[in-house]
Amino acid sequence: MKKYILAGAIALSATLPGSASDKLQTYKSNVEAALADQAIPGAALALVGPEGAIGQMCFGIADLETGAAVTKDTAFTLGSTSKMVIGMAIVQAVEKGIIQLDQKIAPLIDFEIGFKNADQITFSDLAQHRSGIVDREDAYLSKATYYQGADHPTLLGDYLKAYLSESGEHYHAATNFSKHGEYQYSNIGSALAAYALEQAVATPFDKLTTSDIFGPLGMENTAWFLSEYQTDELARPHYDLGMEGFAPNEFYGLATWPDGGLHSSISDFSKFIAMMINAGELSGTRIINKENFDLLFAGLNGDNERGYGLFLEKFRLKGSLPDRTTFWGHTGSDPGVVTFAVYNLDWKRGVLLMLNGEPEEEMVNDFLAASFDLFGLENEFRIAPDHCNNPLRVVID
């Protein structure tokens, strides 16, 4: 499960010519053409402010088998953008006095990690990808992690034990670990953070996040498992995966589901980003106080071009926006999925992008630039905020 690295320069067209309706139509036509060119069935985008979605757009098909259109309630798989939820759950547990960021996780879990510095790994290490745990590709990108057609039958703790403990089926001392304290992006380390947290709070991670995050924010169409949805409520991932025995375009579940398995709609996840813009509050409901919300940015130097807080990325981008504008958030990618969720605290604005297909690598930044173009359409969205009732049908040859 990848996160996309944003290029240093993004070409934006924040001021589109013409009337309000002309601007929106030009924008929609550009996105529609890009989706068709890259054979991506569907997409959803949103411009987000403190109140939630200022405007949202839906494009194309959620499921090529059924022909169902993407709507504002279609749940996309978020990929690594899901990790933002782990970070929020961790700081909520800090606020309740259950854990500390520098707390060692070894005493909390029910197996021993076969790594010489395992007893030094903290919640902060896992959240900032400094644990020393490595995603070994031949193990991670396999049926051990991905399971087609249903939620993965392997329990999260069993998977982690099989990978991290010396007696585990997928353990390999030389390639499953690197140096503790050095940055090494790790999906398995992220899943371990969620597992250690659920042990500390004595509540399964999915139930914890539903009760403390999704429920209070009114995110009624957000869940971790396929079994919580009817098929017609989901965007089917569109891919041709080169893993042995895998059929293309099938729904799948992850054994490491906290690292990238969250499903959410453009309408729902706009609420999460609005809460982040408001430093932990949405529409009068506060899910964490400001002091503990600020822990998400722990360890980041404000002058750095890039950085990583507690499952929270920092981007300093160049382009038509003011030079070195700082954004916070996360990107995500999985088979048949690309997502992008970032916001600027000074402007109190954010953008969301959800695709149920995979653009070619050189095209990724074009889709991200299309997301940033939403900043230039706020006035038009204020007039007509919802462009998801009659989504465009993208023609794919």
State the pLDDT at residue 315: 79
Contact 303, 78 (CB under 8 A): no
Contact 175, 114 (CB under 8 A): no
* pTM: predicted TM-score of the whole model, two decimal places: 0.92
3-state DSSP percent of the chain in helix, strand and coil, to 5: 35, 20, 45
| Mean pLDDT, residues 269-278 | 98
Amino acid type, 70:
V
What residue ranges define each of the domains in the chain, with the CATH number in brackets? 9-86+206-392 (3.40.710.10), 101-203 (1.20.58)
pLDDT over 70 at 280, yes or no:
yes
Alpha-carbon distance of 274 to 49, in angstroms, equals 6
- Is residue 20 very low, low, confident or very high in pLDDT (cuts 50, 70, 90)? low
Alpha-carbon distance of 171 to 113, in angstroms, equals 10
State the pLDDT at residue 317: 61
State the pLDDT at residue 18: 53
Alpha-carbon distance of 99 to 87, in angstroms, equals 13
* H or E stretch at 290: helix 290-293
pLDDT tens digits for 72-106?
A: 999 999 999 999 999 999 999 999 999 999 999 99
Alpha-carbon distance of 26 to 248, in angstroms, equals 33
CA atoms within 13 A on the CB side of 120: 11
pLDDT over 70 at 324, yes or no:
no
Question: In the beta sheet, which residues pair with residue 52?
Answer: 49
* H or E stretch at 222: none
Alpha-carbon distance of 383 to 197, in angstroms, equals 44
Contact 130, 309 (CB under 8 A): no
State the pLDDT at residue 86: 98
pLDDT tens digits for 367-390?
A: 888 888 898 899 999 988 888 865
How would you classify the pairing of strands 52-63 and 386-392?
A: parallel
- Is residue 4 very low, low, confident or very high in pLDDT (cuts 50, 70, 90)? low
Residues 6+ apart with CB under 8 A from 189: 126, 129, 131, 133
State the pLDDT at residue 256: 98
State the pLDDT at residue 7: 44
pLDDT over 70 at 65, yes or no:
yes
Helices 156-164 and 187-201: angle between axes, nearest 10 degrees: 120
* H or E stretch at 113: none
pLDDT over 80 at 304, yes or no:
no
Lookup: tokens for 1: 């499960």
Q: How far is CA 17 from the centre of its chain?
A: 33
State the pLDDT at residue 72: 96
- Using a 10 angstrom Cβ sphere, with 0-12 exposed, 13-18 middle and 19 or more buried, the burial of residue 204 is middle
State the pLDDT at residue 163: 98
Amino acid type, 173:
A
